[in-house]
């Protein structure tokens, strides 16, 4: 017993340290939205509490397709009937004389308020039901620290409807671990995917900075193959876990979601066979031959990471064998800075600067066209779609031949090696 109490003390201390430190950040998704399921399940390798939340997809008429058999009362007709029965029973509160409520027992006319001797409104209350046999019983919750070989919990997939996404995540984290939370921009990007299923159906998609993998899960419902990428074994393991939690969404459509490491500050993909999340040669070939979409959500909050992101996008698109469309969702965050003595959006401003640079790039093997996408598509997930949420589209088109006065020629790699006066080209 003493060992259990000691462990609980350590677990509580770890939670307090992570949750209440002054240098942590917390997504609005986890503080403002009510969730039917928001359960703490374990501690990760860093001692942070890990939760599982359920996010319901709001389908348009004709879009919803059940992936598994619902529970007996999950249909609309049965649920409405059950709700009506409960409403009828709640409206008929019986008093001690049976069949009449407390107001009628006191002789007051139906529909009129009952006042006490001082003239205050008297409210009829239900009698409390004693919990017989539960006195003195204790129900402890013991958390286990995650290990390298994390044993997955048995999930009753028969109870997971087609319209629920289950995501494992943390809550308050230091800035370097914000990828372990769910952010609003990921929901905006997921809305776009769910609104245009025909656009993404059967495609090969790469997500950069996937975080918890929520957007990759949604994309895998439509696409043929989704490469869900980020860095850090703990974060990538969380993505892998979320992929497993949402097999009830992926299996009916046959979507293939693969969790892989991709570091924006490196110039190559990790192909080490001994690494759990390394790339195989076949996957690298498939990535460059077949990728037609790159997606990213809320990844530009630090200038160095933003530079690395755009360099990675440029390098990838410059080596893709076909045209590629990049969708980037971002939240414009307003902050008061002492340097400006005013409210500013420095991270957003740097993001816009990099977009402009990419569109103005000349002389490479790829041309880029940048445009903002109006969020006029339906909202399929429950969140606050604030005006600071933006969606940007970059169309990358390979330049097969560079036109000259005397004709055209296809540039060689050595001729293109000198291109790089723009920082985005220095890879």
pLDDT of residue 95: 46
Cβ atoms of 345 and 335 closer than 8 Å? yes
Confidence of residue 280 (pLDDT cuts 50, 70, 90): very high
Buried/exposed 6-31: b ≥16 CB within 10 Å, e otherwise? eeeeebeebbeebeeeeebeebebbe
To the nearest whole number, what is the mean pLDDT of the chain? 75
Q: Is the pLDDT of residue 291 over 50?
A: yes
Mean local confidence (pLDDT), 93-116: 54
pLDDT of residue 352: 95
Q: Measure the CA dihedral 203/209/213/218, to 10°.
A: -40
Q: Is the pLDDT of residue 297 over 60?
A: yes
pLDDT of residue 258: 97
Mean local confidence (pLDDT), 36-65: 75
Q: Is the pLDDT of residue 225 over 90?
A: yes
Q: Is the pLDDT of residue 111 over 90?
A: no
pLDDT of residue 418: 36
pLDDT of residue 414: 43
Q: Contacts for 226-231 with beta carbons within 8 Å, 24 or more apart?
A: 226/255, 226/256, 226/257, 226/258, 227/258, 227/260, 227/262, 227/283, 227/287, 227/291, 228/257, 228/258, 228/259, 228/260, 229/259, 229/260, 229/261, 229/262, 230/179, 230/261, 230/262, 231/261, 231/262, 231/263
pLDDT of residue 126: 59
Identify which has the larger pLDDT, 353 or 125. Answer: 353
Confidence of residue 269 (pLDDT cuts 50, 70, 90): very high
Q: Is the pLDDT of residue 135 over 60?
A: no
Mean local confidence (pLDDT), 328-351: 82
Dist. CA 270–CA 251, nearest whole Å: 28
Dist. CA 103–CA 116, nearest whole Å: 12
Mean local confidence (pLDDT), 43-55: 84
Confidence of residue 253 (pLDDT cuts 50, 70, 90): confident
């Amino acid at each position: 017993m003493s060992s259990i109490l000691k462990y609980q003390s350590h677990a509580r201390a770890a939670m307090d340290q992570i949750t209440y430190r002054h240098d942590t950040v917390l997504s609005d998704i986890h503080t403002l939205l009510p969730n039917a399921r928001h359960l703490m399940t374990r501690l990760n390798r860093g001692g942070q509490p890990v939760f599982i939340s359920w996010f319901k997809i709001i389908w348009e008429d004709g879009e919803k397709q059940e992936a598994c058999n619902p529970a007996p009362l999950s249909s609309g007709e049965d649920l409405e009937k059950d709700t009506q029965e409960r409403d009828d029973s709640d409206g008929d509160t019986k008093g001690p004389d049976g069949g009449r409520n407390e107001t009628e027992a006191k002789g007051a006319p139906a529909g009129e308020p009952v006042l006490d001797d001082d003239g205050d409104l008297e409210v009829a209350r239900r009698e409390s039901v004693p919990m017989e046999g539960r006195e003195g019983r204790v129900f402890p919750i013991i958390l286990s620290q995650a290990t390298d070989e994390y044993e997955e919990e048995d999930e009753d997939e028969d109870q997971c409807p087609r319209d629920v996404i289950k995501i494992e995540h943390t809550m308050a984290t230091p800035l370097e671990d914000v990828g372990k939370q769910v952010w609003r921009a990921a929901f905006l990007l997921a809305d776009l995917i769910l609104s245009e299923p025909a656009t993404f159906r059967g495609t090969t998609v790469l997500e950069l900075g996937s975080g918890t993998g929520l957007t990759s899960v949604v994309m895998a419902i439509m696409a043929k193959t989704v490469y869900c990428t980020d860095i850090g074994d703990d974060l990538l393991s969380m993505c892998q876990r979320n992929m497993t939690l949402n097999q009830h969404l992926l299996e009916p459509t046959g979507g293939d979601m693969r969790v892989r490491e991709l570091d924006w500050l490196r110039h190559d993909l990790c192909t080490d066979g001994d690494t759990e999340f390394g790339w195989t040669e076949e996957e690298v070939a498939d990535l460059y031959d077949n990728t037609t979409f790159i997606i990213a959500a809320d990844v530009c909050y630090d200038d160095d990471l933003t530079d690395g992101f755009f360099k990675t996008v440029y390098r990838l698109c410059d080596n893709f064998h076909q045209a590629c469309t990049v969708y980037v969702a971002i939240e414009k965050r307003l902050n008061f800075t002492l340097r400006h003595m005013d409210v500013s959006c420095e991270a957003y401003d740097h993001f816009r600067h990099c977009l402009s640079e990419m569109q103005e790039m000349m002389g490479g093997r790829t041309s880029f066209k940048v445009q903002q996408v109006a969020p006029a598509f339906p909202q399929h997930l429950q969140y606050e779609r604030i005006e600071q949420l933006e969606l940007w589209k970059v169309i990358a088109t390979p330049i097969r031949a560079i036109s000259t006065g005397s004709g055209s020629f296809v540039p060689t790699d050595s001729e293109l090696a000198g291109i790089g006066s723009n920082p985005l080209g220095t890879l």
